[in-house]
Structure 1
Amino acid sequence: MASRPAPGEDDGMDAFIDQFKGKKYKEGFNEDNWEEEFDKIPMFMKKAPEELDPLEQPELACIQTILYDEDQSPEELAKTYKNEGNQYFKEKNYKKAVISYTEGLKRKCSDSELNAILHTNRAAAQFYLGNYRSALNDVIAARKLKPSHLKAVIRGVLCHIELKNYSKAIAWCDEGLQFEPKEKQLIELRANADKQKRVEERNVRKAKLKEKKERVQADALMKAIKERKIKLFQPPELSSQNSDDDGDDKEDDKVFRTLFDGINSENGIVVHLDENGNLNWPVLFLYPEYEQMDFISVFHEDTRFIDHLTVMFGENFPPWDTEKKYKPNNLELYFEDEQREDLYRVDPMCTLRQVLSHDRCVVKAGNPRILILVRGSSFFRDFLSGKKLQAN
């Protein structure tokens, strides 16, 4: 057995202590970094680190191992995960909260009350993430375990409101008020859901009335177009369908309806009937010589082309007409049969209705299109030389 040094004898301790005399301790906390250093100590941490590195934080890794020891009962582990999820929830880290509550539910503990809480808490986290259907599934699961779980009922009502299931939200409120008749939040939520339901029902009624009105107007417009024998451009698939159903008026109407519903002016303005039952079309005047165009948004079907030409070229010349040759009496008008690549001359004294009723005139994309050329110009001759002219 080793003997103790006699009193007064040097056991080496004095020498060990003496070497620190006069040296300042540099590892201690100071007023600038004490909060940061304290936050590295597990006992004083305010927030868990996003990523745990056992080598960098061995103390925290040790505590985590103790907390989540698989030797613990499922109930103990589930409760630990619940507490962890609650902490993440307080920090508004809802994604990690969902993960923690999910881990708690995976323990499959026999405590139905605890499982109901885990479902309800996970529903709250999912709700704040905007996952309303997932949140709703959780509160439904919670209520199966505990039908009178007030938080689950309230959370379910909120989910139904966000999903615009107002009738179900009201039903959930009524169920909750059966066992908590004075619950203020349920009363307020029920009133809100009822108000939203009434607004939605009113909007649905308005939408149906608007749809009915538009359909009546569309039917009248379609009838007017058919009565005038105006032809609309048919895509190849509809053309073949129409040829396969010769003699079937219902199928002809179906094809025409498809074409009519597809009318969509390139300029956002479509043909319409006025109060006197006359058609008004958006018409394009094209000037190929200068690659220019004019758009007439409302061209009455009984208006003559010369009337528009007089307004457009009667007094002022367009800026692109530097030679000032676009004069009403100096212009020739044509429409093109794209299928045959033919040009048909249009008499300026004709009305739009007369042109559109021509056997070879087809309205494409909702816009009748008229080509305008300067008679006798070099471009006029070159342009017509490559085209097939047909009598109107």
Structure 2
Amino acid sequence: MASSTDPEEEDGMDEFLEKFKGKKYKDGFTEDNWEKEFDKIPIFMKKAPEDLDPVKHPEVACIQSMLYDEDQSPEELAKTYKNEGNEYFKEKNYKRAVVSYTEGLKRKCSDTELTVILYTNRAAAQFYLGNNRSALNDAIAARKLKPNHLKAIIRGALCHIELKDASSAVSWCDEGLRIEPKEKQLLELRAKTDKQKRVEERNRRKATLSDKKQRVQAEALLKAIQERKIKLFEPPELPSQSADDENDGKKDNSIVRTLFNGVNAESHVVHLDENGSLHWPVLFLYPEHEQMDFISAFHEDAQFIDHLSEMFGEQSPPWDTEKKYKTANLELYFEDEQMGDLFLVDPVCSLRQVLSHPRYVVKAGNPRIIILVRGSSFCKEFLSGKNLQEN
């Protein structure tokens, strides 16, 4: 008879095993699922789970706690994080690689070579993420510790290429070639960056000439506007902008800029033709229907009646359902927004005559004319309470 301390009798193992007799184990590995099941076991995993929640993946968390035991030396921990980052890098999981390399650098280990590798590897991961400035900073940090580290030099040259800084890329390549004159990748980068450098220099020369040409054109344009006594609305300048203009001796920069800030500034701005005449982008506003017409190049000597006859001649605009916008029925006004006065414009006036009026101010580079139907109920309501002035 077994004693009362017999472990098999005490823990009921026989009874437990008896239950499995005649029953097939349903959860075992099969020919179809064994690879999937093995991949759930941390030691056999091909890559770590994206979600490292310890509740969802307790086995992985357990192994991590052993790998990253804070009782280990900074060097051991930094090496572990480096190896982890390398695995993520191979999987092209560059974001996780950056995190691992960063954790390794946080250990501040005394192994300079290991620190250089962490910086260089993180630079590579950042580079593939498109974070070229961060990658360059890591390459620079690696070279501070090891100036002749070729991988860091190559990585820095690549970053400068992506950052469109060919001169610096050439400099980095030359420094690397002084260390290893036959380094194939550096020779190829050097040839590529030298070509890019020449292109950049040519583009800079073109940009300088273009800026100079634009400046001359802008000065001629401003002079023509001032000769005609045309006033431009000048928005308040920020203190820093005003200081910059004054320091550069470009007192009229803010005035010229107002010509290019209109709604259609990208493609239609006031310009001076070869005969010395101004062409303005003009807005005709129809407040009754909340509509407008845009004339991209209104010659300063053209009369308003010419444009109105063409616009409201044979056909009415689709929004004029009552067909009341006829050239003979229209009244034109401009507004002095500061004083709130309306000035009646004679349709046979030229644009230049209106713009040169002492009370007219061109806002945002676009002269604006209000058009109403004479005698209409809307016209009477719109004009009521307004201070009307003869042009």
Contact 2:303 2:347 in 1 (8 A): yes
- Structure 2 unaligned regions, length at least 5: 3-11, 238-245
Offset, 1:221:
0.9
Offset, 1:118:
2.4
- Whether 1:258 aligns to 2:254 is yes
* 1:238-387 correspondence to structure 2 within 5 Å: 257-263=253-259, 264-268=261-265, 269-387=268-386
**Residue in structure 2 matched with residue 80 of structure 1 by the alignment:** 80
Q: Deviations over 1:207-264 (max 9, x none)?
A: 22222222111111111110011122345x58xxxxxxxxxxx9xx977642331123
Alignment CA distance shift 1:191-1:28 (3 Å): same
AA in 2 matched with 1:260: V
AA in 1 matched with 2:54: D
Alignment CA distance shift 1:387-1:180 (3 Å): same
Offset, 1:279:
0.8
Contact 2:324 2:373 in 1 (8 A): yes
**Residue in structure 2 matched with residue 53 of structure 1 by the alignment:** 54
AA in 2 matched with 1:81: Y
* 1:133-282 correspondence to structure 2 within 5 Å: 133-235=133-235, 237=236, 257-263=253-259, 264-268=261-265, 269-282=268-281
- Structure 1 unaligned regions, length at least 5: 3-11, 239-249
Greater shift in the superposed pair: 376-385 or 265-274: 376-385
Offset, 1:175:
1.7
Offset, 1:361:
2.0
Alignment CA distance shift 1:127-1:56 (3 Å): closer
AA in 2 matched with 1:265: G
Q: Deviations over 1:181-213 (max 9, x none)?
A: 211111111112222222222222222222222
Contact 1:81 1:104 in 2 (8 A): yes
Contact 2:166 2:200 in 1 (8 A): no
Distance 1:54 1:105 in 2: 28
Distance 1:16 1:286 in 2: 93
Distance 2:378 2:56 in 1: 85
Q: Deviations over 1:129-152 (max 9, x none)?
A: 333333333333333443332222
AA in 2 matched with 1:259: I
Alignment CA distance shift 1:20-1:194 (3 Å): same
SS for the counterpart of 2:314 is coil
AA in 2 matched with 1:332: E
Q: Deviations over 1:96-145 (max 9, x none)?
A: 32333334344444433333222222222222233333333333333344
SS for the counterpart of 2:293 is strand
**Residue in structure 1 matched with residue 111 of structure 2 by the alignment:** 111
Distance 2:192 2:142 in 1: 24
Q: Deviations over 1:338-359 (max 9, x none)?
A: 3333333322222221222122
Distance 1:111 1:163 in 2: 31
Distance 1:61 1:23 in 2: 34
Greater shift in the superposed pair: 268-277 or 199-208: 199-208
Distance 1:326 1:16 in 2: 100
Distance 1:47 1:38 in 2: 12
**Residue in structure 1 matched with residue 8 of structure 2 by the alignment:** none
TM-score (normalised: structure 2): 0.80
Contact 1:270 1:282 in 2 (8 A): yes
Alignment CA distance shift 1:17-1:369 (3 Å): closer
Distance 1:315 1:18 in 2: 104
Alignment CA distance shift 1:254-1:230 (3 Å): farther
Distance 1:291 1:19 in 2: 87
Contact 2:331 2:374 in 1 (8 A): yes
AA in 2 matched with 1:100: S
Contact 1:265 1:282 in 2 (8 A): no
Alignment CA distance shift 1:279-1:51 (3 Å): same
Alignment CA distance shift 1:173-1:304 (3 Å): same
TM-score (normalised: structure 1): 0.80
Alignment CA distance shift 1:347-1:46 (3 Å): closer
**Residue in structure 1 matched with residue 9 of structure 2 by the alignment:** none
Offset, 1:54:
8.0
Contact 2:234 2:254 in 1 (8 A): no
SS for the counterpart of 2:334 is strand
Q: Deviations over 1:30-53 (max 9, x none)?
A: 123211222233432222344263
SS for the counterpart of 2:311 is helix
SS for the counterpart of 1:196 is helix
Aligned-CA RMSD value: 3.4
Alignment CA distance shift 1:55-1:127 (3 Å): closer
Runs in 1 of length 4+ with deviation above 6 angstroms? 12-19
AA in 2 matched with 1:267: N
Alignment CA distance shift 1:32-1:294 (3 Å): same
SS for the counterpart of 1:336 is strand
Contact 2:333 2:369 in 1 (8 A): yes
Greater shift in the superposed pair: 125-134 or 320-329: 320-329
Alignment CA distance shift 1:186-1:306 (3 Å): same
Contact 1:222 1:260 in 2 (8 A): yes
Q: How many residues align?
A: 368
Offset, 1:382:
4.7
AA in 2 matched with 1:368: P
Distance 1:61 1:321 in 2: 74
